[in-house]
Amino acid sequence: MGTEKKIEKVKEQNTRVRKYVSSVVSSGASYASSLIEKAKESARERRAKFIKKKHGSRKSKKEWK
C-alpha cells in the first residue's frame, strides 16, 4: 500500500512538471518568434535607410530624368 501511494504521488508530480515545462516552452517560443519579427522589421528599416542613403529617394531619381 505504501508503494502505491508513492507511485500516485510521483505521477501527480510528473503531470505538474509536464504542464509547467510545456507552458515555459510555449511562452519561450512565442517570445522567440516576437524577437524574430522585431529583428526582421529592424533589418528592413536599416536596408531602406541604406538604399535611401546610397541611391537617394525614388522621387528625386524620377525628377532627374
Give the largest Cα separation in the chain, rounded. Answer: 92
Residue 5 lies in a domain: no
pTM: 0.52
Q: What is the mean pLDDT of residues 2-7?
A: 92
Report the distance separating Cα 8 and Cα 61, nearest Å. 75
Check pLDDT > 60 for residue 63: no
First to last CA, the chain: 92
Residue 54 lies in a domain: yes
Report the distance separating Cα 13 and Cα 30, nearest Å. 26
What pLDDT does residue 54 have? Answer: 74
Residue 6 lies in a domain: no
Residue 10 lies in a domain: no
| Cell 530624368 found at | 65
For 16-61, write each residue's pLDDT tens digit.
Answer: 999 999 999 999 999 999 999 999 999 999 988 887 777 665 555 5
Residue 25 lies in a domain: yes
